[in-house]
Each structure stands twice: as C-alpha cells, then as structure tokens.
Amino acid sequence: MIKEEMTIIVFVLLFWASVFFVLYTYFGYPIILEFLAGFKRTQIDYPEHFPTITLLIAAYNEEASIEEKIKNSLALQYPVSKLQILVAADGSTDHTPDIVRAYADQGVDLSYIPERGGKMAAIVRALSTMAHGEVVIISDANNQYDKHAIEYLAAPFSDPAVGVTTGAKIILEDGRHLSSSEGLYWRYESRIKSNETKLGTCTIAVGEIIAFRKNQFSAPTQKIINDDHYLVLDFIKKGYKVVYVPQARSYEYVSRTAADEVMRRTRMNAGLFQTIFMSGRFLPYNRPFIVWQIISHKFCRAFVPFVMILALLLNILIVYLNFIYNISTLLMPALFGKALLVFQVTFYFAAFLGSMFNFEGRLGKVFYLPTFLVNSNIAIVRGLYSYLTNKQQHIWKRVNR
C-alpha cells in the first residue's frame, strides 16, 4: 500500500502544481504587478510633443471599411504639416487601392503592389519607400481612433528612452456576449499593461494602435505572423521602454461570428508560438525582471490549455485510485477530490453548452465566462497545431467585423 500511497501523493502534488500554474498565469501575475506598482508613483505626465508622424494603415482587401478609416484619420487632432497618412494595400484584389487614390488630393498616400507578401512585408516596404515620419503608428482598417489618440501616443517620445507606445483597445458593445467577453478581456489586459508601464516597460502592445521610432526599426529577417510581438521584443532588446497610454483609444467591433473569432484567435496564437520559438534571440537576459514579465504575461498563457488538461486527467486518476485503494491524503481528502472533479466537469460542460447555444439575458452571463476561457484555450491548441504544421503563415485571411 505504501507504493500506491506514494503514487497518489505524486499525482496530488502534480495536480496542485497544475492548479497553481493556471492561477498564477491568470491571477497571480496581475496581483503581484498590482502590489509592486503600488510602490510606484502614478504614471508620468509627458509634456506635449509633436514629432512628425506617419500613420500607416495596413489594408488588404478592406474596401468595406477603408473609406471610413480614412475619414477617421483625416479628422484626428494633430498638426496637419506633421502627419502623413499612408495606406499599405499590397496584394489587394478589390477596390481598396482605388478608394485610397480618391483621397490623394487630401494628402492620403498609397503604397501598393499587386503581389501579396503579408502584413509585415507590406509594412516594411511602405516604411522603406514612402514613410517620412520620425514616429510611425501602425493601424488596421477596421478600427477607429479617438480624435486625440495620436497626440497621446506621441507625447511619451519626448523621453529618448521610449521606443514604443501603444494604446487601449476598446471593444464596442453590440449586444452579443462575444463582445462582452472580449471587452472584459481587454479591460483585464489594460490593467496589466498599465502596471507594467509603471514598473518600467510594458511587454505587450495592441497591434492596431502601436507607435515606434522609425530610425530604430529593424526589418525582421524571417516572415513574421504577429508584427506587434516582434516590434515590442525588438525594441525591448535594444534597451527601449514600451509605454502603455490608456488615453489613446482604438475602437472596434468583435468578429462578426464565433467562427471568425476562433480563426482570429488561432492565427494570433500561432504567432505567439512563433514568438516563443524565436524568443532566444529577443529576450533581454541582462534584465531578468523584464524577462520574468514577458514570460509571465504572455508565454505562460500558451501552456495553460495543456496544464488544464493535465489537471483534469490527474483529478480523474486521483479519484479513481482513492476509490480502488481507499487511500486519502491530507493534500487532497477523498471527498474534496470528488468535489474538485465535479467542479471541473461542470465548468467544461458549461463551456460546451455556451458554445452550442446562444444563451441570452442572465443565463448568457452565467455561461459566457467559462465559454470564453475554454474557447480561448482551444484557440491556443489550434494555434500551436497551425504553427507546427505551417498551416498559419505570415499571410492572413481577413475576418469580418
């Protein structure tokens, strides 16, 4: 019986280690940041600063949204003589280039070639051939900026130590629980990024509202899926700060369908795994505190679904062995182990029901959190598969919003 008891103890220890990892990733790291940031003064109020800026809009086959985006960009509060609006529409086969050309007399520039090389390739080509701003802001065609967003993004560049700034992603509510869960997630992310900035540097940027010093940009040597991951790690590696500016707001709707949202998350997570596999070249090992932040904020999340599966399997094994050998342990009494298993099964079943049925009202609020968490982690698994099998390349398929 000693052998069986030791086996159960090992399984129980592994189970609690799995639970600790998940809790640390989602709650522990943010709580530690909150505690550490409490010893820092509030975020710096940067003076007004007006460098020349290129607003670079990546727009592949965006005829449905590019005109509204251009109008939004033209209405932004920033000295006209210091703002270049440049649309990179490489590979577009719809009317996107024609729509952009119609605004040439208002100062909107077009970077376009028929060949499609992916978002990062279009950005690099536009930067090297047409962009003339000291600071470049990368945006998408399907998001709208607050009219003062560029002013807020530009101000921190008054500090020569700042290499990148990024703003807040605001999900517009459309009555769907998909938008509610996405909105909750981005508010959670916003708090983490604010505290990271207080502690020195933010480690994650919002891809549709990210600004950087053009003269410090290095074109990637390989095809990149997530340009924002690359930019942040590259500038941190060079010793620059990344500043999160919550006042610089970007608004957008969530993907139109759950299938589109799964596709979007899958490609983002494929890019995350690409970043992890490339991280040996980008992590600033001479600054271990920042390495801890990068690993805790993003890299740990990539392993959560596998740890969750492990926790469920271990829980089943522990309950089974308790039943067969009638052995319990103080680390997990038999009844408590059964209760944990019931909780896990109920949680995953609720996520299954939430995915199968579009619950509304109060019932929908009960189901949307487990559904969002489980679907997010399924997208991580799909993202790993897509990356390892080369199904998710640097060329993206756009999603409807």
pLDDT digits (tens, 9 = 90+) for 203-221: 999 989 999 999 999 998 7
pLDDT digits (tens, 9 = 90+) for 313-330: 999 999 998 888 887 787
Report the relative pairing of strands 53-58 and 83-88 from DSSP bridges. Answer: parallel
Q: Label residue 248 left, alpha or beta by phi (over 0 means left) and psi (-120 to 50 means alpha).
A: beta
Residue type (1 letter), 302: A
What does residue 138 show for φ and ψ, rounded to 5 degrees?
-95, 130
- Our CA angle for 383, 30, 341, nearest 5°, is 65
Tokens, residue 75: 């209405």
Q: Regarding the domain with residue range 53-254, which homologous superfamily does it belong to in the CATH classification?
A: Spore Coat Polysaccharide Biosynthesis Protein SpsA; Chain A (3.90.550.10)
pLDDT digits (tens, 9 = 90+) for 383-394: 999 999 886 555
pLDDT digits (tens, 9 = 90+) for 94-114: 999 999 999 999 999 999 999
Measure CA 117 to chain center.
Answer: 22
**Least reliable range by pLDDT among 62-66, 253-257, 282-286:** 253-257
The pLDDT of 188-197, averaged and rounded, is 95
The structure tokens 């909107």 sit at 108
Return the higher-pLDDT residue of 179 and 67: 67
Which pLDDT score is estimated for 326? 80
Burial class (CB in 10 A: 0-12, 13-18, 19+), 115: exposed
Q: Where are the domains of the chain?
A: 1-39+262-401, 53-254
The pLDDT of 346-361, averaged and rounded, is 83
- C-alpha torsion sign, points 231, 232, 233, 238: positive
Question: pLDDT class for 331, splitting at 50, 70, 90?
Answer: confident
Q: What is the DSSP string of 254-281?
A: PPSSHHHHHHHHHHHHHHHHHHHHHGGG
* Count of H-run helices and E-run strands, the chain: 13, 8
Q: What is the DSSP letter of 330?
A: T
Question: pLDDT class for 280, splitting at 50, 70, 90?
Answer: confident
Residue 278 has pLDDT above 80, yes or no: yes
Residue 396 has pLDDT above 70, yes or no: no
